[in-house]
Amino acid sequence: MALLRTKMELRPLGNTGLRLSCVGFGASPLGNVFGPVSENDAVSSVREAFRLGINFFDTSPFYGGTLSEKMLGKALKALGVPRNDYIVSTKCGRYNEGFDFSAERVTRSIDESLARLQLDYVDILQCHDIEFGSLDQIVNETIPALQKLKESGKIRFIGITGLPLEIFTYVLDRVPPGTVDVILSYCHYSINDSTLEDLLPYLKSKGVGVISASPLAMGLLTDNGPPEWHPASPELKSACQAAAAYCKEKGKNISKLAMQYSLSNKDISSVLVGMNSVRQVEENVAAATELALFGKDQEAVAGIEAILQPVKNQTWPSGIKQS
Ligand code: NAD
């Protein structure tokens, strides 16, 4: 594939002072979450990501039952990139064994993650999928524990992640300003669901950095379609399949258009896409490059939007009932 080259755009992350590549490397696929990935492919993908200017890598102890963290750690070590040249986020509170947002567990968790990642610190530690815990515990116990980790130098910034958008306002309205540095939202800023947009002014007013994950809606907006475990309704899955077929017929790539849709909003610091091969890294970086050079393909996006209109902003339940 002939690659057009421009410099990867770096965007500020809220008040953190960090500047993230607009295309971020989601490392859940390195935990075999979307199918098996060899160590060789993992290292090559991370190498290619660096070569093309990606500086942001996201993982979690939950992805592949710690495998993603181990694979990312191996790749970072093998490549020997200076530590200041990249930004790593991992998570706490969600594990193969279940959820545990207690101060004791998240404090132990960072040491385990650092060992697997072979790092002395992570840039961002995020409470993973907080809608599955008590949000009051997150506010009163988990985040104060993470503040202590910040003081100890094991983490630089604190984040929260999850699917329902109201979890972010619930927490941010209750913690002292500047305590939560970052939110990571997923599946809410893509062609089929753009509901994160309404929350962006609020997040900006609080100086909170925004990472938007899953621009391909966890595989819905790809030619191969979603994995078996995907929680979308059959209606949403078939609408996305129809949109992919429409793109194919027009000689367009639905994943590229979906990436470009997410990348277009500059209030999003990084669009975190899961990648497991050199080819996917190249394609997703090329999507950003072409967007910078030529702008959005409005006509093709309008065609997809028309097909997805009946399922626009349809999501799925996630989490426990908060008391
Ligand atoms: P995604 O929308 O990024 O889709 C990933 C899937 O698309 C994988 O199967 C991948 O191999 C495939 N893919 C990637 N590039 C492609 C291309 N150019 N063409 C065709 N297929 C392509 O979903 P995701 O991986 O779930 O999300 C991205 C990252 O965001 C995750 O890896 C994770 O780091 C993070 N994330 C975090 C949370 C959370 O904290 N709760 C939730 C979801 C995602």
Q: Which fold has domain 10-311?
A: TIM Barrel (3.20.20)
- pLDDT of amino acid 323: 76
pLDDT at 1 over 60: no
**Among 19, 22, 18, residue whose Cα is nearest residue 8:** 22
Over range 285-291, report the average pLDDT.
97
Residue pointed to by tokens 């339940």: 317
State the distance from the centre of ligand 1 to the C-alpha of 227, rounded, in angstroms.
11
pLDDT per position as a tens digit, 140-152: 999 999 999 999 9
Predicted confidence (pLDDT) per residue in 97-119, tens digit: 999 999 999 999 999 999 999 99
Cα of 12 from ligand 1 centre, angstroms:
22
| Region for residue 131 given its phi and psi (left: phi exceeds 0; alpha: psi -120 to 50; beta: otherwise) | alpha
Active site residue 63: yes
Average pLDDT estimate for 250-266: 98
Of 186, 188, 175, the C-alpha closest to 312 is 188
Check 63, 86, 95, 261 and give the catalytic one: 63
Contact call for residues 21 and 10 (beta carbons, < 8 A): yes
Which pLDDT band, with edges at 50, 70 and 90, does 6 fall under? confident
Please choose, from the candidates 272, 322, 318, the residue with its C-alpha nearest in 3D space to the C-alpha of residue 138. 322
Q: What is the pLDDT of residues 187-246, one digit of tens each?
A: 999 999 999 999 999 999 999 999 999 999 999 999 999 999 999 999 999 999 999 999
Q: Is 64 in the pocket of ligand 1 (CB under 6 A)?
A: no
* Ligand 1: residue whose CA is nearest its atom 15: 280
Is the Cβ atom of 27 under 6 angstroms away from ligand 1? Answer: yes
Burial 31-42 (b: 16+ CB within 10 A, else e): bbbbeebeeebb
The pick from 260, 272, 285 for probing ligand 1's pocket by mutation, whose C-beta has the most ligand atoms within 8 angstroms, reads 272
**What is the 216 CA–ligand 1 centroid distance (Å)?**
7
Rounded to the nearest whole angstrom, what is the distance from the C-alpha of residue 217 to the centroid of ligand 1? 7
2 pLDDT higher than 80: no
What average pLDDT is seen over the chain? 96
| Any atom of ligand 1 within 6 Å of the Cβ of 272 | yes
Q: Return the structure tokens found at 238.
A: 């078939």
Residue 226: predicted pLDDT: 95
Res 159: pLDDT: 98
The model's confidence at residue 267, banded by pLDDT at 50, 70 and 90, is: very high
Residue-level pLDDT at 33: 80
What is the C-alpha separation between 156 and 123, in angstroms, rounded? Answer: 5
Above 60 in pLDDT, residue 54? yes
- For 9, 110, 121, the CA distances from 115, given in Å and listed in that order, are 31, 9, 10
In the chain, what's the furthest Cα-to-Cα distance? 55
216 lines ligand 1 (CB under 6 A): yes
